[in-house]
Chain A
Amino acid sequence: MELLRSLTIGQYVPRASPVHRLDPRTKILATTVLMVVVFLARDFRGLGVFAAFLAGAVVLSQVPAGFVLRGLRPIWFLLLLTLVLQVFFGGASGGTVLWRLGPLVATREGLVQGLFVTARLVLLVVSTSLLTFTTSPVELADGMERLLNPFRRLGVPAHELAMMMTIALRFIPTLVEETEKIMKAQMARGADLDTGGPLRRARALVPILVPLFVSAFRRADELAVAMEARGYRGGEGRTRMKQLRYRARDLWAGLVVVGASVLVLWSGGP
C-alpha cells in the first residue's frame, strides 16, 4: 500500500546544499543541457564520465543516494524491456552470436547496445529527478516562468503554464494520498484489487476512480475559490515576493556543467 508513496520522482527533498541554493533557472538550463549531452554521448567512456559527474552532483546535493535510486523503481520494467529488445533486435545482423532462442538471436553487439541504451535511460532519469529533488515546486515554476517570459510575445502563456505546473506538482502528493485512502476504504469493504483477469481488474478500478475524480473536482473548485478570494487575477501586473537573481555560484555551476559536457563529448569522440 505504501508502494504509491515510493514514487519518488518529482518529490522535493528539502536540504541546505549548494545544489539546492542554485537559481532554479540555472538548474533547469543545466538539466536541459545534460539531457542533450546524454543523448550525444556515443560510447561507454562518455557515459562513464557523465555518471561520475552526476554522482558528484548527487553527493553535493545531500540527497541520500538510496533515495535517488529508488526513483528508478517505477521504471525498472521499462528498463528491462529496453534491454531485452535491444539484446535481440538492436545489434546489426551478423555479429558474434551469444545464444539462440528459436528464431531469436542474441548477439554480443546487441547486448552491448542494450546495456548502453539502458545506462543512458538511467542517467537521464537520475539527472531529471535530481532537478526536482533539489528544487521546490514553487521555485521550479518560477524559474520556468522567467525562462519562458521572452517567448510571451510569440504567444506562449508563460505565467499560466507555470501556474498550471505549480498546481499540478503541488497536488500530486495529495492525489496519491487520496488514492491510497480510497483504495484502503474499498479494500476494507472486500474489494479485491489484484486478482482476476484484465477485465476484472479494469472493473475493480471503478470504485477507486469515481471517488478520486469527485474529490479532484471538489478540490479544484475549492482551490479556485480560495485563489479568487485572495485576489488572484492571472499573471498581468503580478509582482513577486521572492525575486530570482543569478549569483556567482550560478556562473560557477554553469561553467562546471559546460566543462563536464565538453569532457563527455570529447572522451567519446574521435
Chain B
Amino acid sequence: MSDPVVVCEGLTHVYLRGTPFESVALRGVDLVVRRGECLGLVGPTGSGKSTLVQHFNGLLRPTEGRVWVDGVEIRPGTAVVREVRRKVGLLFQYPEHQLFEATVFEDVAFGPRNLGLDPEEVQERVRESLEWVGLDPDRFGPRSPFSLSGGEMRRVAIAGVLAMRPQVLVLDEPTAGLDPEGRREILSRVRDLHRKAALTVVLISHSMDDVARLCQRVVVLHRGQVFLDAPVREAFAQSDRLRSIGLDVPRVTDVLLRLKAAGLPVRCDRLTVEEACEEIVRVLQGNRRWSSSEA
C-alpha cells in the first residue's frame, strides 16, 4: 500500500514559454501516488489537473522539476518513455473522440499491437478488457465504434487503455457528459478495477460525490499548486477551505454539515449515504435515550 508509483518533485509547467501567450499551468507541485491507492484529483477549472497527469506518462516535458514512475525518472526522448506509457494508462477527457478503427475490436487492439504482441495475446487482451468494462466481446467486438451510444463509446475507450495492462490508470473526468446510469456504470467498473484487479487509480473529477465514493485520498489543485493533500474524510471536513476556492463538498457531507448547523450533534466526516444514515440514527437514538432517561 505504501510504496510510491508516481512521484513528482517541484514540477513546474509553462505552456508556450517565450510567447505572448505564455501561461503557467503548474508551479512546484510535489506529489506521490502510492501503489494500490485510489487518488482523487480535484480543483477548479484551469487549475492544472490535466496538465499534471500528462506528466505521469511523459506526454509533457517538465519546464522544471522531475517525475519518477516506478522508481525510474522520466526523461523525454529516451526509451524510458515507452515503458512509462505502458505502465501508466491515461484516459483523456472525452476519450470517445479518439476512436478511429472500423470495429470496436480493432480499436481496442490498437494499444496491444503497438506493444508488438502476437495476435493471440492481442485477442486475449481485447476480450479481457472489453469484459472488464462490461461490454460483451462477441456482441460489441464486430460493431463500428461510431454506431455506439456515448456511454458505450466511452467504455470502449477505457477498454483501449486497459488493454495496455497498465499498473496505474489515470482517468480525466471519465463521467463528464454522461447520464446518471452511464456515470454509475463507469464508476462501478472503475471501483471493480481498483478493488479486484488491484489497479492504482488516479481519478480527476468535478464531482465530489464520485471522489468521496471511490477514493481514499484527495489532492486539491488550485492555480497550479497543491492546495490540499489529505485522506478523503479529513479533506472534506475542511468545507470552508474548499468552498473558498469555488469547490464543494459531497452532498452527504453537506447534509451533515447543515444538520450540525441546525443543532444536531452529528459527526461530519461520513461520506456515503449509508454511513450518514447510521450517524443520524445514532445521534437521534442517543438523543431519545438521553431525553427519556431525563424524564
Contacts and interface: CB of A to CB of B under 8 A. Distances in A.
B92 A64 contact: no
B18 interface: yes
Interface of B: 15-16, 18-20, 54, 57, 59-60, 82, 85-86, 89-92, 95, 97-100, 110-111, 114-115, 146, 160-161, 164
Given A66-B18, A189-B110, 10 more contacts: A2-B15, A2-B16, A181-B97, A186-B98, A189-B160, A189-B161, A190-B111, A190-B115, A190-B164, A192-B82
Interface of A: 1-2, 5-6, 8, 13, 63-64, 66-67, 70, 181-182, 184-192, 206-208, 210-211, 214-215
A58 B99 CA distance: 44
Contacts of A64: 20
30 contacts: A2-B15, A5-B16, A6-B16, A8-B19, A63-B20, A66-B18, A67-B19, A70-B19, A182-B97, A184-B54, A184-B59, A184-B92, A185-B95, A186-B110, A188-B59, A188-B85, A188-B92, A188-B161, A189-B114, A189-B160, A190-B82, A190-B114, A190-B164, A206-B100, A207-B100, A208-B100, A211-B99, A214-B97, A214-B100, A214-B146
A185 B146 CA distance: 18
Nearest to B112: A190
Most A C-beta atoms less than 10 A away, residue of B60, B85, B98, B146: B98
Q: Is the interface of B mostly helix, strand, loop or mixed?
A: mixed
Q: Quick one: which of B91, B100, B160 has the most chain A CB within 10 A?
A: B100
Contact of A188 (B15, B20, B89, B100): B89
Contacts of B99: 211
Contacts of B164: 189-190
Given A182-B98, A207-B100, A211-B99, A188 B16 contact: no
A255 B114 CA distance: 61
Nearest to B56: A188
Do most interface residues of chain A lie in helix, strand or loop, or is the interface mixed? helix
Contacts of B91: 188
A214 B99 CA distance: 10
Contact of A190 (B60, B85, B98, B100): B85
B20 A67 contact: yes
Contacts of A211: 97-100
Nearest to A186: B98
B277 to A, nearest CB: 41
Q: Taking each of A13, A185, A186, which has the highest tally of chain B beta carbons within 10 Å of its own beta carbon? A: A185
B115 A181 contact: no
Contact of A185 (B16, B86, B98, B115): B98
Contacts of B92: 181, 184-185, 188
Contacts of A182: 97-98
Contact of B100 (A13, A63, A70, A210): A210
A214 to B, nearest CB: 7
A66 B97 CA distance: 36
Nearest to B93: A181
A260 to B, nearest CB: 26
A220 to B, nearest CB: 15
